[in-house]
Structure 1
Amino acid sequence: MKRKFLIFTLLVGLMVSCSEDFLETSPSASISDDKVFTNLEGAKAVIDGVTRDLREYHSYHDQFGVKAIDLASDLMGEDIVVGRLHWFRYDYTIDNREATYRRPSYVWSLFYRSIRNLNEVLAHYDEVTNATDVQKKHIKAQALTLRAYSYFRLIQHFQQTYMGHQNDPGVPIYTEPKNEGNPRATVQQVYDLITADLDEAITLFGEANIERRDISEVDLSVAHGIRARVALVMNDWSAAASHANAARQGYALNTIEQFESGFDNAAQMVWMWGLPLNDEQSTIYASFFSHLDMTIGGYAGLGYSPKYLCHTLYSQMQPGDIRRDELLIPTVSNSVNVYVNLKFSSANDKEFAADYVMMRPEEMLLIEAEARARMGGPEETTAQNLLQELWNVRFYTPPTVTETGQALIDRILLERRIELWGEGFAFYDIMRLKKGLNRTNHIFSAVPGNVIPAEDPVFIYKIPQTEIDNNPAISEADQNP
């Protein structure tokens, strides 16, 4: 394990590294020159540009692509304690949802920018003159996967969870490039598009059978993985189990040594999807590791906004778990017992050029385990065996899984919180499980009493005011409560 010292010194300067985008960066931007799609390289470059935009720095130090949104959502949960309010303060205090605020606008613009450019790919991919039919299928599959991913992220922030809200207003749907705004589609219509895109992409990836160039590219496994995530939210247990199982085929679980390596280097770990960075692409202080990693001189490590694992979660972890015994350092912040988590530790390795994790086989195992546990009957034994498989690589002397029924489901849900801590899943689980929020072991209050009931409107973003002002199909009457 890479034991590292913690940094708590004064910040002496800020450096932000920006790189030129291939694509436009305004929410309404699109590819203006259709000629880019007349050759295979141009079509690939557009998809690469969309992927790169997911890890780019955009204007502010809490806007560094999709991992900024992952962190913002995690900070809206229970398991990360913020020791000092700085960047992301309003996300953490559940006060970043208003129509004129930057966070809703950033989420909206990032993913609709992706959707617009992916729709351009889908409208023109068949015009590529130097590509085979197989290559065209591969291009289309990538575009469909990324479009589905974008809509899935949007619908989770701008409306309550799927179950019980299928007929509620969701987000506008665009399946082709256009300049006119559309009204809000229903939640069901959005999920129908997401699942249709992913199902078609899975078929096309299977037919094309082209090996991806880099871990940043979406492929068949990633498409199955996103489809499994979607099915979990929809309570479609059979689909969640089958897609999660298919997604992790060919991937081993990370060993103890790999899990302890710092989550900063895709080449050292088993990831299904990641966004690698190098020194030139690093955005230094405006980066995921700056805000979460306590071992380098970023906002967390320098003490401007340290992030800790909550005592409530720690108290539920089992002795012998390397995620507890090897990666947590107990400390006290503002009279609250918290734990420095060395899961994300890039010092002496990639540091500010640390890679961004997007999907791991462990997540897929946990999706399958939860789905099969909920299916019950003979599937329960399979769920137990899956959880045991994970424990075998998280304990030097693994305990035996004995839970059944609801206790087994609860144990798997707890394992999601432990295994996926800091990766952007905790808040979405709170939403889909309709749990509500309990912050009694935190330093700063989210609301008086630190408890927010399930499905409270404060959990969902309001439609950005710029969208209401510029889209005739959406008015103030269509705004979220």
Structure 2
Amino acid sequence: MKYTKYLAILAAAFMMGSCSDDFLDKEPSENASEDQIKDLLDKDPTAIQAYITGYYKNMFSPEAQQSHDDFGLKAFELATDLMGDDMAYMTSHFFVYDYLLDNRASSYRRTTTYWQELYAVISGANEVISGLKEQADSGDESVEKMLGQSYTIRAYCYFWLINMYQQPYEWNKDKLGIPIYTESETKLNRVPVSEVYEQILSDIDKGYNYLKGKGIAKKDELNEYAAAAIYANILSFVNDYPDQWNEVAKYAKLAIEGGSLMSEKELLSGFNDLSLSEVLWGADINGETNTFYASFMSQVDPYGPGYGGNLGNYKMISSDLYEKISDDDIRKKWFGVDLGETNTHYKVRQYVQRKFIDIGSTAPGFTPTGDTFCSDYIYLRTGEMYFVAAEALYRAGKENEAKTMLTTIMKTRNPKYETSATSDALLQEIELQKRIEMWGEGRRLFDMKRRNESLDRTHAINHSAIAPKEVPAGSKLFIYQIPDKELNANSEITDKNE
């Protein structure tokens, strides 16, 4: 697919182009020559901001959007959470095939849009880097910020791609990965997983260092703290990285500096606003940019007019995970909805989620603060980083520091929280509390994969009777096939995954 964008030389104005069928064509389109673009950017580097605006929009309102279960990164987060063991689903509607681990075939919409949308963002990032790389050492802060955002988002997109089109790095370094293309080279073949990670690590290091020291200007743009959070998550997969776990802890701690832990009021406010104190990065959505029924809140808000509410496609926490939440834990209030529902499936209504509530929702006790389906999307927040840091510190042999990190965040979730756990029990406690904390935010499947954990849904009473209950770690069911559209357009790829 070609993600064409063009610059029109008219009062230094920019215009965005459209998506066509060949991803890996990096040539500027018909409205401006490379020389014209270079001349414009030499005079005004900020003119390239249109590309940045474009790739951010593709993260929540993709040009390749095909259906109401396709709304960019939040759709991928929801799909992958449903592939794990902590989210239960009873109905046969959007996302059911993700839940059934049956949405991975090369001809399916999910595998195609996932590929198209992330490579489209990469294409936009490449254009920015190509346009500004000659000014990288100019000392111009605006150039550094634009480069930092572009390297960081490219790293994040490749991270999502490699972890859904191949098994985890630790056991599969030499396996076939995905094509790589940057501002300077195109590799159409499936390069090895290790080589993909070399590119990811190079990009995130450049991205973080360009953004370092520049704080947060706007939460709908990548910044030094969001880049640090992405860096920490990436490094947690790279088992042979020098001093791996101390490095993961370092970047997680740097990310934590970008926000303060949420109050009880914030924790129960619906996870729908970038102004929440933990938010590092997300999408600022309003009446002009929302995608209506093709949106995250349409799919998950149990009180709303969308698929997750009006149509009864409720998203639930698995009963076994719910039972592990202390009654004193604020997060237990994220679940439990009086549905007025006669369907016998929902006699398990205490498990229905209310963590995510739309800003226009009619939820009991909830005061609407905006229009329906205009909730912001939250991609990264500091809360996650406390658990990432705690796990990393434990694995680095710093058990006391790990316990302190865990207790610091848990006291804000449960003021009565104490743990006497040590050794493996402490690690299990860290992992459990992260599962509760990040429920519905797209982290569970990747954690399962990097820890080589099997899927086990046998301990919950509210999983669908037709859902797979046990799947071994490393199963092909946890990765996508390369989409047919790419196979048909790219003769360099002959293996699409089993």
Q: 1:443 to 1:224 in 2, by over 3 A?
A: same
The answer on whether the counterparts of 1:439 and 1:445 sit within 8 Å (CA) in structure 2 is no
Q: 1:326 to 1:132 in 2, by over 3 A?
A: closer
- Equivalent positions of 1:342-353 (< 5 A) are 342-346=354-358, 347=361, 348-350=368-370, 351-353=372-374
Q: 1:234 to 1:444 in 2, by over 3 A?
A: farther
In 2: Cα distance, 1:373 partner to 1:392 partner: 19
Match of 1:428 in 2: 446
With structure 2 as the length reference, what TM-score do the two structures score?
Answer: 0.85
Partner deviation per Cα, 1:338-376 (whole Å, 9 max, x = no partner): 512211012123441001001010111110000111222
> Quick one: which amino acid aligns to residue 68 of structure 1?
A
**2:66 is aligned with 1:59:** yes
Match of 1:391 in 2: 410
The secondary structure found in structure 1 opposite 2:291 is coil
> Quick one: which amino acid aligns to residue 88 of structure 2?
V
The secondary structure found in structure 2 opposite 1:290 is helix
The answer on whether the counterparts of 1:28 and 1:113 sit within 8 Å (CA) in structure 2 is no
Aligned-residue offset at 1:452: 0.8
Q: Choose 381-390 or 133-142, whichever is displaced more.
A: 133-142
Q: 1:159 to 1:123 in 2, by over 3 A?
A: same
**2:479 is aligned with 1:479:** no
Match of 1:28 in 2: 22
In 2: Cα distance, 1:320 partner to 1:329 partner: 18
Q: 1:100 to 1:69 in 2, by over 3 A?
A: same
In 2: Cα distance, 1:181 partner to 1:24 partner: 23
Aligned-residue offset at 1:223: 1.2
Match of 1:222 in 2: 226
The secondary structure found in structure 2 opposite 1:25 is coil
Aligned-residue offset at 1:283: 1.4
Partner deviation per Cα, 1:192-239 (whole Å, 9 max, x = no partner): 111111112222223xx4455421111111111101001112242111
In 1: Cα distance, 2:386 partner to 2:281 partner: 15
> Quick one: which amino acid aligns to residue 147 of structure 2?
K
In 1: Cα distance, 2:168 partner to 2:236 partner: 11
Q: 1:211 to 1:453 in 2, by over 3 A?
A: closer
Which structure 2 segments of 5+ residues have no match?
1-14, 362-367
The answer on whether the counterparts of 1:293 and 1:344 sit within 8 Å (CA) in structure 2 is yes
Q: 1:385 to 1:357 in 2, by over 3 A?
A: same
The secondary structure found in structure 2 opposite 1:359 is strand
The secondary structure found in structure 1 opposite 2:352 is strand
The answer on whether the counterparts of 1:120 and 1:177 sit within 8 Å (CA) in structure 2 is no
Match of 1:5 in 2: none
In 2: Cα distance, 1:452 partner to 1:27 partner: 36
In 2: Cα distance, 1:165 partner to 1:369 partner: 26
The answer on whether the counterparts of 1:274 and 1:356 sit within 8 Å (CA) in structure 2 is yes
**2:194 is aligned with 1:188:** yes
Which protein has greater RCO, CA pairs closer than 8 Å, 6+ apart? 1
Aligned-residue offset at 1:133: 3.2
> Quick one: which amino acid aligns to residue 293 of structure 1?
D
The answer on whether the counterparts of 1:181 and 1:472 sit within 8 Å (CA) in structure 2 is no
The secondary structure found in structure 2 opposite 1:51 is helix
Q: 1:326 to 1:190 in 2, by over 3 A?
A: closer
Match of 2:365 in 1: none
Match of 2:296 in 1: 288
> Quick one: which amino acid aligns to residue 168 of structure 1?
K
**2:101 is aligned with 1:94:** yes
The answer on whether the counterparts of 1:23 and 1:49 sit within 8 Å (CA) in structure 2 is no
Match of 2:375 in 1: 354
- How many residue pairs are counted as aligned between the two chains? 450
The answer on whether the counterparts of 1:55 and 1:64 sit within 8 Å (CA) in structure 2 is yes
Q: Choose 89-98 or 134-143, whichever is displaced more.
A: 134-143
Aligned-residue offset at 1:328: 3.1
Q: Choose 332-341 or 197-206, whichever is displaced more.
A: 332-341
In 1: Cα distance, 2:409 partner to 2:392 partner: 16
With structure 1 as the length reference, what TM-score do the two structures score?
Answer: 0.88
In 1: Cα distance, 2:445 partner to 2:236 partner: 14
User: Which of 423, 444, 448 lines up with 1:405 in the alignment?
Assistant: 423
Match of 1:231 in 2: 235
The secondary structure found in structure 2 opposite 1:169 is coil
Q: Choose 150-159 or 335-344, whichever is displaced more.
A: 335-344
In 1: Cα distance, 2:194 partner to 2:327 partner: 43
Which structure 1 segments of 5+ residues have no match?
1-20
- Equivalent positions of 1:5-404 (< 5 A) are 22-26=16-20, 28=22, 31-32=28-29, 33=32, 34=34, 35=36, 38=41, 39-56=44-61, 58-126=65-133, 133-176=140-183, 182-206=188-212, 209-210=213-214, 212-235=216-239, 236-325=244-333, 327-329=335-337, 333-334=344-345, 337=348, 339-346=351-358, 347=361, 348-350=368-370, 351-376=372-397, 379-395=398-414, 397-404=415-422
The answer on whether the counterparts of 1:50 and 1:117 sit within 8 Å (CA) in structure 2 is yes
The answer on whether the counterparts of 1:260 and 1:327 sit within 8 Å (CA) in structure 2 is no
Q: 1:126 to 1:453 in 2, by over 3 A?
A: closer
Aligned-residue offset at 1:268: 3.8
RMSD of aligned alpha carbons: 2.2
> Quick one: which amino acid aligns to residue 95 of structure 1?
D
Identity of aligned residues (%): 32
The answer on whether the counterparts of 2:260 and 2:277 sit within 8 Å (CA) in structure 1 is no
The answer on whether the counterparts of 2:68 and 2:295 sit within 8 Å (CA) in structure 1 is yes
Q: 1:433 to 1:61 in 2, by over 3 A?
A: same
The secondary structure found in structure 1 opposite 2:219 is coil
Partner deviation per Cα, 1:354-412 (whole Å, 9 max, x = no partner): 01001010111110000111222xx11111111111111111x3221211111111111
In 1: Cα distance, 2:67 partner to 2:113 partner: 10
In 1: Cα distance, 2:291 partner to 2:388 partner: 32
Partner deviation per Cα, 1:80-124 (whole Å, 9 max, x = no partner): 111211011211110011111111111111111111221121112
**2:476 is aligned with 1:457:** yes
> Quick one: which amino acid aligns to residue 488 of structure 2?
D
The answer on whether the counterparts of 2:86 and 2:321 sit within 8 Å (CA) in structure 1 is yes
In 1: Cα distance, 2:419 partner to 2:402 partner: 10
The answer on whether the counterparts of 2:162 and 2:193 sit within 8 Å (CA) in structure 1 is yes
The secondary structure found in structure 2 opposite 1:170 is coil
